[in-house]
Amino acid sequence: METNSRYTVTLDDDSTVPKIIAQVTGIPSHAFQNGDALLKKAESLDPVAFFLDIHLDTHTNGLDLLPELRRRWPFHPILVVTGDPKDELIGQALAMGANDFIRKPINPTELIGRMHARVLEMAARKKIDVLEIGDICFSPSQATITKNGKITYLPKLETQLFAILIEQRDMISSREELKQRLWGRIAVSENTLDRKISDIRKALSEIGSTCVIQSHYRKGISLSFGNIDKKIS
Amino acid sequence: MSYFDSKLPVLDLEMLATLRSLDEDKGFFLNELIELYRLDSPVIFENLLKAHAEASVKHVVFYAHRLKGMSSNLGILRFYRLLESIEKSYTQLSPRELLEMEDLLRQEYELALAQLVQDWCIQNLAS
């Protein structure tokens, strides 16, 4: 596996796809035909971007891998490549952590344009890894929240959940969307999500933050700083 | 057959020209893609026919989708559209359409491969 040069990673059971991606981008594309093979090599991979097919075989679905890929590579662009005409699948993929999508048949101009845009976007996001927001500093890569020298650590999933809530601060995120982004299509109970939220609240309380995570009956969850009544209707 | 448009061109010439332009019109890259298709698609094609013979909707849809993806990327337009129709509406086809499907698939697959090799493979272009 090349680790020194630039390359992309393609997960697709169609062997022409990584060839086309490599030819269009001008850098090699390491091809994987199933998710297990990709995850086995995960430690040694640092690609420019991931290209992920949705339908891999009759049993597995590329969407199932998305939460794991996003956890391992928080700042790498993940683009879904699909020939599926159903828009809802693309919506699901984006909700679960993909940055963008490309439809088959692959249009070379679109592929390169979308990849470049996502590479720039993720690089910018990585630069501002430490977010100063409200009365706290949050670092997703370090999984820490700090306030006035006090520091608290979050487990992986709680970090991811907190990052999502910050991204969508002052807005209500549905419980369904949050569960999809954290666990993909794996069915989890409402309690599981509630426990994660409770852990984040505890962490925020430990450092004395004014950040509030509020549950809205039948609507979802929101995060806000300061006067929450002003921001959430 | 209502789900098959025989008036469509067999190949998408614009798409094939775009693929050929990816290596400055030398054609080696397109040749490599065609060879990959010739190598990989027969197994999927046979699996599709087998699934159809067994009336396994799940597998017909899966193999049609897979072959559709490969075919679409190579500009194999009419066959790709046929597979798309099968993927979308296999369960709605009439008994007669189902009966004729294998022959239609074979005819379109072989025609597409023949045109692809004859018109777009380097060895044939040179001669």
User: Is A93:A102 a contact under the CB 8 Å cutoff?
Assistant: no
| Per-residue pLDDT band at A231 (split at 50, 70, 90) | very low
**Mean pLDDT across chain B, nearest whole number?**
92
Per-residue pLDDT at A99 exceeds 80: yes
Q: Strand A131-133 and strand A136-139: pairing?
A: antiparallel
| Per-residue pLDDT band at A2 (split at 50, 70, 90) | very low
Q: What percent of chain A has pLDDT over 70?
A: 94
pLDDT tens digits for A165-213?
A: 988 888 888 898 899 888 888 888 889 999 999 999 999 999 999 999 9
Among A10, A11, A16, which would you mutate to test the B interface (most chain B Cβ atoms within 10 Å of its Cβ)?
Answer: A16
pLDDT tens digits for B54-104?
A: 999 999 999 999 999 999 999 999 999 999 999 999 999 999 999 999 999
| B58: in domain | yes
| B4: in domain | no
Chain A partners of B22 at a C-beta cutoff of 8 Å?
20, 23-24, 108
pLDDT tens digits for B10-49?
A: 999 999 999 999 888 788 999 999 999 999 999 999 999 9
Per-residue pLDDT at A75 exceeds 90: no
| B3: in domain | no
The pLDDT assigned to A111 comes to 93
Least confident of A10-19, A56-65, A79-88, B46-55: A56-65
CB contact under 8 Å between A83 and B68, yes or no, is yes
Of B36, B62, B80, the CB nearest to A58: B62
Does residue B67 belong to the interface with chain A, where contact is any CB pair within 8 Å? no
The pLDDT assigned to A216 comes to 87
Domain hosting B33: range is 13-125
| B54: in domain | yes
Chain A partners of B70 at a C-beta cutoff of 8 Å?
14, 16
| Per-residue pLDDT band at A3 (split at 50, 70, 90) | very low
| B2: in domain | no
| Per-residue pLDDT band at B1 (split at 50, 70, 90) | low
CB contact under 8 Å between B40 and A15, yes or no, is yes
CA dihedral sign of residues A25, B65, B111, B38: positive
| B40: in domain | yes
Average pLDDT over residues A119-141: 84
DSSP strand E in A4-103: where? 8-11, 29-32, 50-53, 78-82, 100-103
Of A58, A104, A108, the CB nearest to B72: A104
Per-residue pLDDT at A232 exceeds 80: no
Q: Strand A150-153 and strand A144-147: pairing?
A: antiparallel
Range 67-126 of A in CB contact (< 8 A) with B:
83-85, 104-106, 108
Residues B106 and B101: their CA atoms lie apart, in Å, by 9
Residues A162 and A158: their CA atoms lie apart, in Å, by 6
* Total domains, chain B: 1
Residues B106 and B113: their CA atoms lie apart, in Å, by 11
The pLDDT assigned to A72 comes to 87
Cα separations (Å) of A184 from A12, A53, A61, B2, B48? Answer: 19, 15, 11, 38, 30
Cα separations (Å) of B54 from B48, B50, B59? Answer: 10, 6, 9
Per-residue pLDDT at A122 exceeds 90: no
| B6: in domain | no
**Mean pLDDT across chain A, nearest whole number?**
86
Cα separations (Å) of A152 from A146, A166, A193? Answer: 6, 16, 20
The pLDDT assigned to A228 comes to 41
Does residue A26 belong to the interface with chain B, where contact is any CB pair within 8 Å? no
Average pLDDT over residues A126-136: 83
Does residue B122 belong to the interface with chain A, where contact is any CB pair within 8 Å? no
The answer to whether the complex's ipTM is over 0.85 is yes
| B22: in domain | yes
